[in-house]
Structure 1
Amino acid sequence: MKKEEKIIVGISVGDLNGIGPEIIIKTYEDPRALELNTPVIFASGKTMQFFKNHFNSKINLFNIDTPDQIVHGKVNVVNVWREPVKIEFGSENKKIGEYAIKSLEAATNALKEGKIDVLVTAPINKHNIQSEKFNFPGHTDYLAKALNGKSLMFMVSNSLRIGLLTDHVPLKDAANCITEALITEKIKTVTKSLKQDFNIRKPKIAVLAINPHAGDNGVIGNEDDEILKPTLEKIKLAGDLVYGPYSADSFFGSNNYKNFDAVIASYHDQGLIPFKTIAFGEGVNYTAGLDKVRTSPDHGTAYEIAGKGEANESSFKQAIYTAIQIFRNREEYNYYSKNPLKKASK
């Protein structure tokens, strides 16, 4: 473990017509941020200079051509493209989507090659990024393929962690996607992440029901009785502390979530609505299940305020801190896994 070294944080700029560049700039305007990490923005010097001027920022940008030229103590900008880009704040634009993907692909390649330690992604527009070459519903699915892992959207904050059985699928299809194999895989991913990424030795996990009131013994659907409950029983018999299924409507209002290290929701809004209600602004979207660390803020492109200087960088800043902490926790976990006697004597 080399805790004295600065973490190199790779940053993809997201949708240039949204608030991504603004929250990146605001985060690193404070030079003290460079004491914690070395940022590497994958975009272009010309483009980032435009945003610096637009927001009257005093940030110092250091242009480089490849990640090999990274300089600690600087806000590095890798020139992924060189041509000027027309920015129209708040506008959805196919060409801008292409630049978002260029940034993401370059940052991901640097992550795979070990040129950066962690990846933090600014928000993208899931519609304008679609093309014949890029056909993913979002960052999570793309990174799972690019990094050869089985990813899980894991929303995390200081007070709450929520994983999803199904994420970006239509609600009408969500129940059909939930199988014994999927439940087992996702719980395994969350359990491993809690241990290696959050230093929780014996995680306690709650699982939310698929149907209202967990199906009311089949009155409101059979999926909970026929799929979810028996699968959770098998997992419990194997020794994991997994509980549920809990009826989602009262689980958060009763503060029951505070009794667990993580909660697994059956579908996207079942988990993200309470998460963003409880933790919005301090929450982070973490992609668990990969051998690399990637985080992002818990919000989207916010076209309605783009370019106005009103964007709050808190969640993006927290995404950086979370990525750094997970990277350190994982280093420690891997070190002591290989040297168990040192952990026992610690």
Structure 2
Amino acid sequence: MKKEENIKLGISIGDLNGIGAEIVLRIFEDNRMLDFCTPIIFASIKTMSFVKSHFKLNINLNGIHNVAQAIPGRVNVLNCWKENVIIKFGQEDKKIGAYSIKSLEEATKALKENTIDVLVTAPINKHNIQSESFKFPGHTDYLNQELEGDSLMFMVSEGLRVGLLTDHVPVKDVATHITPELIEKKVETVYNSLKQDFKINKPKIAVLGINPHTGDNGVIGEEDDTVLRPTLQKIKASGKLVFGPYAADSFFGSDNYKNFDAIIASYHDQGLIPFKTLSFGQGVNYTAGLNRVRTSPDHGTAYEIAGKGTADVNSFKEAIFTGIHIFNNRKEYQELNKNPLRFSKRKI
């Protein structure tokens, strides 16, 4: 692929007092990455030059004022603000939170307008981003509002994909949030994503129970028997290979997860604890179910190591490659459905 034809990869810079900006620049310090995409960092050239200087990185930055000015083969920085930003690594700062949201909003606008192809988001601090104009618990909820579709947090790595019925919901409210309608919607989203984003023709999906031991026949809760199990049976009767509910405590330790293309957990920690235990540093948070492609690393701002030059770049790099891979898969899937005869004539 010629550099001029590269995927335009937008990057929202996240919390500047965290490790995000360091990781982004360290990844693109390797010029070989520019063979895969044309990066456009939504921040400011002044801010990114400070980060570059702090970490003594050998990287050339190209300041631009709109996406059309991005140059293939260069690390482009789209100026979202003009003022100097005071970065204090490792500290929570509401002003820095406002800049992370400004970056996210500008990058999302570009994604909606198709001036970038893929969005990769650096970690934000969910506390310091809150304001009168931004009241979302994280990226996923904001993108669900801004983009078409129904978002689903889908954690993916080599050999493991974990989706969630409920994501940023307090544990005490999980059971009341899980309804037959929600289960059907989330299973449908995972199923469609596996087909169009990961090229799995007949996906096999496992669903984890809501209560310990899936309720033990009502002894530890009735929701698995009254809500989850009958809904899964209905979905399976429609032709989808959906199985469960499985007791979550032994599902991963027994390696049963290896028998499925994706696992759907009932709530956040039920899915993310085993995912991050098995895949930390290599995992990617993909927002499935939307009409655009967004990925992020599987870690947070990591204030405790920010500014020290020791952050691991692997998860963010995987997020970049996963975003590119999904974009290409989805494009091929859409072309196939528009013109199935052209693809059926391919030699096998």
Q: Distance in 2 between matches of 1:282 and 1:159?
A: 11
How has the CA–CA distance of structure 1 residues 62 and 4 changed in structure 2, closer, same or farther, with 3 Å as cutoff? closer
- Retained in 2: the 8 A contact 1:159–1:279? no
Amino acid at match of 1:134: F
- Tell me which residue corresponds to 1:327: 327
Q: Distance in 2 between matches of 1:218 and 1:175?
A: 14
- Tell me which residue corresponds to 1:123: 123
Alignment of 1:111-260 (within 5 A): 111-260=111-260
- The alignment-based identity, stated in percent, is 68
- Tell me which residue corresponds to 1:270: 270
Amino acid at match of 2:177: C
- Retained in 2: the 8 A contact 1:10–1:118? yes
1:284-327 Cα deviation digits (max 9, x unpaired): 00000001000000000000000000101100000000000000
Q: Distance in 2 between matches of 1:310 and 1:215?
A: 44
**Equivalent residues, number:** 346
**2:150 aligns to what SS in structure 1?**
coil
Q: Distance in 2 between matches of 1:16 and 1:159?
A: 32
Q: Distance in 2 between matches of 1:306 and 1:169?
A: 28
- Retained in 2: the 8 A contact 1:3–1:328? no
Please report how far the alpha carbon of residue 5 of structure 1 lies from its aligned counterpart in structure 2 after TM superposition.
2.5
1:69-105 Cα deviation digits (max 9, x unpaired): 1111110000000100001111000000000000000
- Retained in 2: the 8 A contact 1:283–1:298? yes
- Tell me which residue corresponds to 2:54: 54
- TM-score, normalized by length of structure 1? 0.99
How has the CA–CA distance of structure 1 residues 20 and 3 changed in structure 2, closer, same or farther, with 3 Å as cutoff? closer
Alignment of 1:283-298 (within 5 A): 283-298=283-298
- Tell me which residue corresponds to 1:309: 309
- Retained in 1: the 8 A contact 2:3–2:38? no
1:160-191 Cα deviation digits (max 9, x unpaired): 00000000011111111000000000000000
Q: Distance in 1 between matches of 2:135 and 2:340?
A: 43
Structure 2: gaps (5+ residues) = none
Q: Distance in 1 between matches of 2:307 and 2:165?
A: 36
Please report how far the alpha carbon of residue 341 of structure 1 lies from its aligned counterpart in structure 2 after TM superposition.
1.3
Moved over 2 A (4+): 2-5
- Retained in 2: the 8 A contact 1:163–1:262? yes
Q: Distance in 2 between matches of 1:251 and 1:331?
A: 34
Q: Distance in 1 between matches of 2:344 and 2:251?
A: 38
Amino acid at match of 1:161: R
Q: Distance in 1 between matches of 2:258 and 2:16?
A: 38
Amino acid at match of 2:282: E
Please report how far the alpha carbon of residue 334 of structure 1 lies from its aligned counterpart in structure 2 after TM superposition.
0.3
- Tell me which residue corresponds to 2:38: 38
Please report how far the alpha carbon of residue 60 of structure 1 lies from its aligned counterpart in structure 2 after TM superposition.
0.8
Please report how far the alpha carbon of residue 3 of structure 1 lies from its aligned counterpart in structure 2 after TM superposition.
11
1:15-38 Cα deviation digits (max 9, x unpaired): 000000000011100000001100
**1:132 aligns to what SS in structure 2?**
coil
